[in-house]
Amino acid sequence: MSVVMKFGGSSVADADCMRQVATLVERALPEAPLVVLSAMGKTTDALFRAARAAVAGQLELARREAQSVAARHLDAARGLFDGQPPEELEAALAQRFDELDRIFQGLALLGELSPRSMDAIAARGELLSTTLFAAYFRARSPASAWFDAREVVRTDSSHGAAQPRAELLRALVRSKLAPLLGPGRAVVTQGYIGADESGATTTLGRGGSDWSASLFGAALGVREVQIWTDVEGVYTADPRLAARAEPIAELSFAEAAELAAFGAKVLHPATIQPAVEADIPVTVRHTLRPAGRFTTIRGASRGARAVTAIAMRGPVHVLTVTSSRMLAQAGFLARLFEVFRERGVSVDLVATAEVSVSLTVEADAPLDELVAAITPFARCDVARERAIVAVVGERLRDTPGVSAAALTALASFHVEMLSMGANEINLSVVLERSAAPAALAALHARFFESAS
């Protein structure tokens, strides 16, 4: 049973970071690690900028961007090899930069940048970071190897947002990659990139390396997928709003999804779904504090507390729709929600009273249009600049007293709306946006900072 170790851009940003990664991988060698790397921090952005500049005819600008990318890699190579990188490595890097330069010349000449070309360019970031790291790591562990993810990550041809072909990918991983893994050696490969049926390079979309890691992990049936980054996991609240927020030890997939919907700095749940579905735990760990705390995400939570985290989102608008005949009228709610459906506006929270319904919509919703559509059959009042604060926890539903405790903690706040999520793992309140940070802090204090 192997382990997947994925390191993000900030974890491979320079020579010192790469040394630290090598130390962690070395420790894991007995576990036959598959190392999945992102591009060195900021590289992908620079490649996108360079390609856009080139296609706009600004070849010099493109070259400057490309040179900064090259300099970053060559600096790291020198740092890793005490000033003297092996000739083959320098040659390999130089060759990739030459190719890149020719591509940019071509773009400037043609004035055309297809998604397919963009993928070929963006993929260079991961190809470079892994080439560099593998060369360094092999100096420490000669049995280890570099592997081209495009040999196994088979996707459709939606360049820029390619969808993995799960069955093919699994079969290819098992036949081509699995045999290379073994105790005492690491295989180093790229996140984010793949290839379609014709062999053209594709990418899974920005930030796609987490997805790659979880796809590899699921196909291989590893013990654990480790996402190494620059935080000690997912926190009980945004530490900028609650100073005593701490990493959550255990998180369920549903909770992670809920927190992501609230914009918490957490993995995009879709990216870890393949691993979670295969029953493989995904951990989020801090590359520079490997002995520190971390978060484990699983299909079902094994956590003991009712409340897992407090999250906040805003601004949102609240629409309060009042109709004195509402209850008498069959189909009133259906008619109301049709207004939103027709305009593709998603309604987030809903709370109903006898003659009114309150609901929240995102700040960018077409308010005037909505109001105009509702007014013919009901009164519609709008409250802007509101925010949602949510108490999230998979065990909320079977823990009595959580709502009472939450409302007591919020006694001095003016709560305008209260709603239990349909999935029953969040209890949300709506307040004035300016009051929301303090409300979050009060809830965090109540559920995480009191001796209980």
Q: Which residues bind Mg ion (CB under 5 A)?
A: 8, 207
DSSP secondary structure string for all residues of 160-210? TSPPB-HHHHHHHIIIIIGGG-BTTB-EEEESSEEE-TT--EEE--TTTHH
| Beta strand pairing call for 417-420 and 426-432 | antiparallel
253 lines the binding site for ligand ASP (CB under 6 A): no
* CA proximity to 340, closest of 306, 305, 310, 380: 380
Of the pair 6, 444, the CB lying nearest ligand ASP is at: 6
Minimum distance between the CB of residue 356 and ligand ASP, rounded to whole angstroms? 44
How many C-beta atoms surround the C-beta of residue 134 within 10 A? Answer: 21
- Among 44, 287, 301, 419, which residue sits at the site for ligand ASP (rule: CB under 6 A)? 44
Minimum distance between the CB of residue 227 and Mg ion, rounded to whole angstroms? 8
207 lines the binding site for ligand ASP (CB under 6 A): yes
List the alpha helices (DSSP H) in 173-307.
Answer: 209-220, 253-261, 269-277
Stretch that binds ligand ASP, among 37-45, 272-280, 282-290, 358-366 (CB under 6 A): 37-45
Residues sharing a CB contact under 8 Å with residue 431, sequence separation 6 or more, in sequence order: 386, 387, 389, 413, 414, 415, 416, 439
Residues sharing a CB contact under 8 Å with residue 226, sequence separation 6 or more, in sequence order: 3, 4, 5, 6, 282, 283, 285
* CA proximity to 125, closest of 35, 52, 200, 44: 44
Q: Rounded CA gap, 428 and 422, in Å?
A: 11
Compute how many residues bind ligand ASP; rule: CB under 6 A: 12
Per-residue tokens: 17 = 């970071």
Q: Rounded CA gap, 198 and 156, in Å?
A: 10
Of the pair 144, 214, the CB lying nearest ligand ASP is at: 214
Q: Which does 208 bind (CB under 5 to 8 A by kind): ligand ASP, Mg ion, none?
A: ligand ASP
DSSP secondary structure string for all residues of 80-139? HTTT---HHHHHHHHHHHHHHHHHHHHHHHHT---HHHHHHHHHHHHHHHHHHHHHHHHH
Stretch that binds ligand ASP, among 57-65, 202-210, 381-389, 422-430 (CB under 6 A): 202-210
Of the pair 42, 397, the CB lying nearest ligand ASP is at: 42
Minimum distance between the CB of residue 281 and Mg ion, rounded to whole angstroms? 19
Q: Which does 217 bind (CB under 5 to 8 A by kind): ligand ASP, Mg ion, none?
A: none
Judged by CB under 6 A, the chain residues 87 through 146 that form the site for ligand ASP are 125
Q: Rounded CA gap, 278 and 447, in Å?
A: 32
- Among 3, 35, 36, 39, which residue sits at the site for ligand ASP (rule: CB under 6 A)? 39
192 lines the binding site for ligand ASP (CB under 6 A): yes
DSSP reduced 3-state for 387: strand
Do 240 and 21 touch, CB atoms closer than 8 A?
no
294 lines the binding site for ligand ASP (CB under 6 A): no
Of the pair 159, 313, the CB lying nearest ligand ASP is at: 159
Minimum distance between the CB of residue 192 and ligand ASP, rounded to whole angstroms? 4
Of the pair 41, 281, the CB lying nearest ligand ASP is at: 41
160 lines the binding site for ligand ASP (CB under 6 A): no
191 lines the binding site for ligand ASP (CB under 6 A): yes
9 lines the binding site for ligand ASP (CB under 6 A): yes
- Among 38, 214, 295, 360, which residue sits at the site for ligand ASP (rule: CB under 6 A)? 38
Do 310 and 389 touch, CB atoms closer than 8 A?
yes
Minimum distance between the CB of residue 393 and ligand ASP, rounded to whole angstroms? 29
Q: Which does 206 bind (CB under 5 to 8 A by kind): ligand ASP, Mg ion, none?
A: ligand ASP
Residues sharing a CB contact under 8 Å with residue 421, sequence separation 6 or more, in sequence order: 258, 390, 427, 428
Q: Which does 44 bind (CB under 5 to 8 A by kind): Mg ion, ligand ASP, none?
A: ligand ASP
Distances, alpha carbon 255 to alpha carbons 116, 210, 307, 402, 428, in Å: 36, 18, 10, 16, 14
41 lines the binding site for ligand ASP (CB under 6 A): no
- Among 33, 164, 208, 281, which residue sits at the site for ligand ASP (rule: CB under 6 A)? 208
Of the pair 267, 405, the CB lying nearest Mg ion is at: 267
- Among 209, 273, 301, 323, which residue sits at the site for ligand ASP (rule: CB under 6 A)? 209
Q: What residues line the site for ligand ASP (CB under 6 A)?
A: 8-9, 38-39, 44, 125, 191-192, 206-209
